[in-house]
Chain A
Amino acid sequence: DAGVTQSPTHLIKTRGQQVTLRCSPKSGHDTVSWYQQALGQGPQFIFQYYEEEERQRGNFPDRFSGHQFPNYSSELNVNALLLGDSALYLCASSLPVRGSTDTQYFGPGTRLTVL
């Protein structure tokens, strides 16, 4: 049973550049959420995708955008990178259960460094 996979593992960019991170959900899952985890902090919710639509967004600027494909995989795009965007970016997948009970399963993350 394939778990959540993310690519690339590590990425180094310079300020002002754009980056795309990729995620494939766990087998059988069709909902994907993205989180940003700064060093020494807990993950912060960026947004969630379901049926190729963004259905909820956290407190992140429009520089952060995403996409979900028909095979449920997802991309996170960040434009005009800032030094503060350096973080571990985690993708999580879950079943489309409405409410508070669905358990999210996380990938290994992409560590982004902005110089």
Chain B
Amino acid sequence: AQKITQTQPGMFVQEKEAVTLDCTYDTSDPSYGLFWYKQPSSGEMIFLIYQGSYDQQNATEGRYSLNFQKARKSANLVISASQLGDSAMYFCAMREAGGGFKTIFGAGTRLFVKA
């Protein structure tokens, strides 16, 4: 069964430093997609970055990069040069090609950026 695990309930980072948010997943489907979303206190889920299971390169989007280690089934989000506005909940999510159209989410990690 597909599953997403985020083991860090909360993380602190100093402004301008880099931070890594952990995500491990479990699936038997060889074709799947991994997503990271940011949820500020306003509630809206903001799409950050996508990684496909067959992608050879780690995905990058501006200050966000995804450290994809397929054999270890991990998809950690790296945020470089943290900003105060990065303080939010971050969710890792997955969709299996054979699982239809359902996306499953982890429990999330709350990131606090300190000035």
**Which residues in A have some Cβ–Cβ distance to B below 8 Å?**
31, 33, 40-45, 48, 50, 55-56, 58, 88, 90, 92, 99-109, 111
Contact = CB atoms under 8 A, between A and B. Distances in A.
Given A45-B104, A100-B31, A100-B95, A109 B53 contact: no
A45 B107 contact: no
Interface residues of B, number: 30
The CB with the most chain A CB atoms within 10 A, among B45, B100, B108, is that of B45
Contacts, number: 68
Interface in B86-101: 91, 93, 95-97, 99-101
Nearest to A48: B101
Interface of B: 4, 31-33, 35, 37, 42-47, 50, 52-53, 91, 93, 95-97, 99-108
A101 B33 contact: yes
